Structure 1
Amino acid sequence: MRVTSGSSGAGTGFTALHLVQPLDGGVPRVVADLAAAQTAAGLRVVVACPPGSTLAPAAARAGAEVLPWAATREPGPSLPGEVRAAARVLDAVRPDVLHAHSAKAGLAGRLAARGRVPTVFQPHAWSFEAADGALARAARGWERWAARWSDAVVCVSEAERATGVRAGVRGRFHVVRNGVDTRRFTPQAPPGGGAPPPLAGPGPGGLGLDAGRDGVAAPVVVCVGRLCRQKGQDVLLRAWDAVAREVRGARLVLVGEGPDGAALRAAAPPSVLFAGAVADTARWYRAADLVVLPSRWEGMALSPLEAMACGRPVVVTDVDGARESLPPGHADACLVPPEDPAALAAAAVALLRDPARCAALGRRAHDHVLSTFDVRLTAEAIADVYREAAGAPHPDRREPIPQ
């Protein structure tokens, strides 16, 4: 990141406040990596997030100041208090830019700031995609209204931007692709990075995966993501019977936790293992022959980028950001329609039966992420967004909250 001085430059002497709600999943990882890159560039970085979040210790390790901001994931009766708490954080920090991440922080943060502070909103997938009926209409209406309090709307893919435009959001859009820490997500563990996760044996940490028959290692498919409807693990389980029939000894590992965990465990056959939430997902990517993410909607999913940085081939659903994340020429083998278990199974079987092709796809994916999706490139682009937002004329635009 280029560092500049002065109140209008996103560099030394510049304060960025990240307001974040999600406690798990990709958003905390995105913010932690961005905070590390920004502090390394000389920014003062403050992260306000709910107590108990995995983000808080990660942001502190990155050199950011961490403040508690108690907020639930969904809108509800606690919203007025959350808005007041966000306003208190703004008054205490006095940031040059407020960067609100995801739907809830975007809701509370923009209501708290309402034009008083240069504000960047990053949806990390639009809230109205997660809803139906009246709730989806209300979410679209809010995003159209709140765009007036957003000096910039950062989308992580061109497809996510287009989804917002089709929904009637008229904002100052910037497309800044997600990035990953390519020094952490590598094909081999870095020195001192620890051994790979145990793939066999009982006991704590042992997942009971077969070592293979006839001296041939059993293929391992890994899915990393919050166990929830968005990530589509239920679709993957419906596809898995076909994969297990066609690929001898194949095992599936679901890494993560979430609201659908109990239902998924109840529906899973014995060849599916649940690793739970883990601190070091890189170790699981390296243990995989193939990484799958069957999402129903995204902006640009982080997990496939992390997997590709580790040199692993991926199969992903054709949702926002998926095509833009894949290397050229990978769509035919690696992209399937959402909500299509048969297509998902066919793609996984074809790759698992061809280890040489898997290895070649993984090598090309690794090079692609290094050149295009390094988090330091993301941080440079975000710095440019901050400069524009902070340097623009900024009259007080506070308006009544819509009824």
Structure 2
Amino acid sequence: MSELRVLHLSPTWFGDESVRGGGERYPLELAIAMRQETPTRLVAFGGSPGTRHVSGFDIEVQRTWRRLRGRAYDAIGPGFLRALGWASVVHCHQARSGLTALTALIGRPLGKRVFVTDHGGGGVNWVRRLRIGRWIDGQLAQSEFAAATLPYIGRRTKVIYAGVDTVKYSPGTKKTLGQVVYVGRLLPHKGIETAIRGLPAGASLDIYGRPYDADYLEFVRSEASSRPVRIHLGASDLEVIAALRSACAFVMPSVYEDYLGRRQALPELVGLAPLEAMACGTAAIVSDVAGMPEIIPSVGGATVPPSDPDALRRELTPLTSSVQHAQTQGQAARDHVVSRFTWSAVAERCLAAYTA
């Protein structure tokens, strides 16, 4: 068999003005791991064109030619065909994207194998609208929940969970008694107010993330104003990792219904942050929402009903009241991640799916 040339396509780009979350970090980490096995490129669109150098890997950010209906997730550019011509396999990130639909329409007749991983974002669902889901060779879903949301995508579906860089995300030497940490975007579906309301007596909460909704940020600040809560909006990766290492517990209290009563159909397809926290030796407490329960161990983590601060408090109390207990649970969490969720393993599973 000839050598695979894998092209990862992301409709959003990598810069200060970009949308950044699991949907952007996932293709980057996967591409970095995959290039150890086969020639691999990551192409994104929008912002300032050029090359971004991240962790020794070059991200190719191409000029946006247009955005279908003005949506960031539907960005395409003039370099798209050149990149497509280089590849033998194209892995599209975000199913509800004009870029993914165009890749299916053009790539299949050109003999390219086309695969899709959804990350929950997107604009118009062109794949469904144009009825071309079966033109895609396979859906590589991040969870069983994610696979069930897109039954019309791909001739075959395989669940391949996300990974963690277990060297970068590794345990520290000391836990801070009572410290709870949240890491993620500050958006209504994250349910951060539940974490604030569910803090046990004597515990504190550090919130790390970028705000994407000014009204929600103000709401979170109002909830936190009389409580031992600190909000860090511009923290570096090193600062975030240090917090994940020192915390006694990590929380991801995502919801199906946000603080304004709006329904959130896809709050978390799987969740990278809980995996990263567990890799740092910190137990993860998450809400029983979407795909997150699929990655949480019975020892070293727990799930609680969404929007239930009392249930969250019950799980947090033993972790925040004993450093020794937090360390024991954190080590179990670390062992769980190392045995099942590494990016090298994710890359191997994807490569096997490409050639199946």
TM-score w.r.t. structure 2 length? 0.80
Q: Which amino acid aligns with 2:232?
A: A
Q: Which amino acid aligns with 1:276?
A: L
Structure 1 residues 46-91: Cα deviation after superposition (integer angstroms, max 9, x where no partner): 32243369x9442xx433351325499x9733579834x2x64133
Any stretches of 5+ residues in structure 2 without a counterpart?
A: 14-18, 256-266
Instruction: Measure the CA separation in 1 of the matches of 2:84 and 2:102.
Output: 17
Q: CA deviation at 1:160?
A: 2.1
Matches within 5 A, 1:1-400: 6=2, 9-10=3-4, 14-21=5-12, 23-51=19-47, 56-58=52-54, 61-70=55-64, 76-77=69-70, 82-83=75-76, 85=77, 88-94=79-85, 95-103=87-95, 106-114=97-105, 115-116=108-109, 117-125=112-120, 142=128, 145-165=131-151, 171-188=155-172, 218-237=177-196, 239-240=197-198, 243=199, 246-248=200-202, 250-260=203-213, 261-270=217-226, 271-280=228-237, 281-296=240-255, 297-329=267-299, 334-388=302-356
For the 8 Å contact 2:68–2:75, the answer to whether it is kept is no
Instruction: Name the structure with the higher strand share.
Output: 2
Q: CA deviation at 1:359?
A: 1.8
Larger RCO: Structure 1 or Structure 2 (Cα < 8 Å, ≥ 6 residues apart)? 1
C-alpha RMSD of matched pairs (Å):
3.3
- 2:38 counterpart SS class: coil
**How many residues in Structure 1 have an aligned counterpart in Structure 2?**
328
Structure 1 residues 276-314: Cα deviation after superposition (integer angstroms, max 9, x where no partner): 143313222012111000123211100010011111011
Structure 1 residues 20-70: Cα deviation after superposition (integer angstroms, max 9, x where no partner): 4272112222222111112222313132243369x9442xx4333513254
For the 8 Å contact 2:139–2:153, the answer to whether it is kept is no
Structure-2 change in CA distance of 1:367 and 1:341 (3 Å): same
Computing the radius of gyration from Cα coordinates, the structure with the larger value is 1
For the 8 Å contact 2:117–2:139, the answer to whether it is kept is yes
Structure-2 change in CA distance of 1:80 and 1:267 (3 Å): closer
Any stretches of 5+ residues in structure 1 without a counterpart?
A: 128-134, 190-195, 197-215, 389-403
Structure-2 change in CA distance of 1:217 and 1:65 (3 Å): closer
Structure-2 change in CA distance of 1:144 and 1:110 (3 Å): closer
For the 8 Å contact 2:285–2:315, the answer to whether it is kept is yes
For the 8 Å contact 2:47–2:63, the answer to whether it is kept is yes
- 2:150 counterpart SS class: helix
Instruction: Measure the CA separation in 1 of the matches of 2:44 and 2:36.
Output: 19
Q: Which amino acid aligns with 1:39?
A: R
For the 8 Å contact 2:146–2:291, the answer to whether it is kept is yes
Instruction: Measure the CA separation in 1 of the matches of 2:167 and 2:182.
Output: 21
For the 8 Å contact 1:39–1:64, the answer to whether it is kept is no
- 2:290 counterpart SS class: coil
For the 8 Å contact 2:45–2:75, the answer to whether it is kept is no
Instruction: Measure the CA separation in 2 of the matches of 1:373 and 1:79.
Output: 30
Q: CA deviation at 1:360?
A: 1.6
Q: CA deviation at 1:150?
A: 1.8
For the 8 Å contact 1:16–1:46, the answer to whether it is kept is yes
For the 8 Å contact 1:32–1:62, the answer to whether it is kept is no
Q: CA deviation at 1:221?
A: 0.8
Q: CA deviation at 1:224?
A: 0.4
Runs of 4+ in 1 over 6 A off after TM superposition: none
- 1:184 counterpart SS class: coil
TM-score w.r.t. structure 1 length? 0.71
For the 8 Å contact 1:126–1:299, the answer to whether it is kept is no
Structure-2 change in CA distance of 1:385 and 1:125 (3 Å): same
Higher mean alpha-carbon deviation, 107-116 vs 255-264, is at 107-116
